[in-house]
């Protein structure tokens, strides 16, 4: 199921990624702009979005679209494409290779497909509902770590003072408990890292849908657990995320409850 959607979104992600890779190495061409909350934006974000839009509109003209750059474009469809054409713009402008293209598809408010492409590493992650999760055609496998002292936990946060303060508390709590606690600056890739067993869990405060949609289905289809901080099943309206292998999810949830009560 969703074979055509997967094929088109994989191709679109690669095309956008190849464009971003070229621009990444042509450093002198970049002009940095700023959106609300001083978030960085470049013409590359918008051009990558155009590449993806062209492929999607040609093949699925009646689907809704939600994109970081253009917002909500409604066609009154049960299907919605959720797009982050450049997840990790600040990294991109710093000439840091940790950025990605993320494309997800929702059906009636449920994520049913996700694609994440890392242009510099040339790694393509993808998953469909009940179809498994893969990286470059190889099934993804979550980490089996059950000890915080051997775990790497990643985190990120949305804009605003409250989310920033939560992130400070997250970092302090998990930094003291874990082997490492890190923030890489591309939420999609951080979720893909969990799904592929490179890290043990990812925690998000103030999650924006286009940042997390594709990654959530990767982790679910790899056998992991994705909830909010109250341990309720994650939905497209959830403001927080805790994602990881089931044992590590349980351990992290206990610590999050301590942070919330502190």
Contact 174, 155 (CB under 8 A): yes
Reported as type and span, the H/E element at residue 218 is: helix 209-221
Tokens describing residue 246: 């089931």
Helix (H) or strand (E) segment spanning residue 134: strand 132-135
Q: Is 136 among the annotated ligand-binding positions?
A: no
Residue 139 DSSP label: E
Using CB atoms within 10 Å of the CB of residue 83, give its burial: 0 to 12 exposed, 13 to 18 middle, 19+ buried. buried
110 is in an annotated binding site: no
Do strands 180-182 and 152-157 pair parallel, antiparallel, or not at all (unpaired)?
Answer: parallel
**Region class of 99: left (phi > 0), else alpha (psi between -120 and 50), else beta:** beta
Is 84 annotated to bind a ligand? Reply is: yes
Signed CA dihedral, 241, 246, 251, 254: sign only: positive
Locus of tokens 């978030």: 39
How far, in Å, CA of 151 to CA of 169, rounded? 18
Q: Are strands 100-107 and 110-118 parallel, antiparallel or unpaired?
A: antiparallel
Residue 16 phi, psi dihedral angles, 5° rounding: -65, -40
Paired residues of 156 in beta bridges: 204
Which residues participate in the annotated binding site for Mg(2+)? 68, 84, 86-87, 211
Which residues participate in the annotated binding site? 68, 84, 86-87, 211
């Amino acid at each position: 199921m969703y074979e055509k959607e997967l094929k088109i979104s994989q191709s679109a992600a690669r095309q956008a990624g190849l464009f971003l890779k070229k621009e990444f190495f042509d450093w002198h061409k970049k002009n940095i702009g700023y959106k609300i909350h001083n978030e960085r934006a470049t013409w590359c974000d918008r051009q990558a979005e155009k590449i993806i839009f062209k492929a999607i509109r040609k093949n699925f003209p009646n689907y809704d679209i939600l994109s970081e750059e253009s917002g909500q474009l409604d066609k009154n469809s049960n299907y919605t494409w959720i797009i982050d054409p450049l997840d990790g713009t600040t990294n991109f402008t710093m000439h840091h290779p940790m950025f990605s293209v993320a494309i997800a598809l929702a059906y009636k408010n449920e994520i049913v497909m996700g694609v994440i492409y890392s242009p510099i590493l040339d790694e393509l992650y993808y998953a469909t509902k009940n179809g498994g999760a893969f990286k470059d055609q190889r099934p993804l496998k979550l980490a089996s770590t059950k000890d915080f002292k051997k775990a790497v936990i990643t985190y990120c946060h949305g804009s605003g003072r409250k989310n920033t303060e939560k992130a400070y508390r997250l970092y302090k709590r998990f930094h003291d408990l874990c082997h490492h606690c890190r923030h890489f600056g591309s939420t999609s890739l951080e979720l893909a890292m969990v799904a592929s067993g490179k890290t043990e869990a990812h925690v998000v405060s103030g999650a924006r849908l286009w940042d997390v949609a594709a990654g959530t289905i990767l982790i679910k289809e790899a056998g992991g657990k994705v909830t909010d901080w109250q341990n309720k099943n994650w939905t497209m309206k959830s403001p927080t995320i805790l994602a990881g292998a089931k044992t590590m999810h349980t351990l992290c949830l206990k610590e999050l409850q301590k942070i919330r009560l502190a």
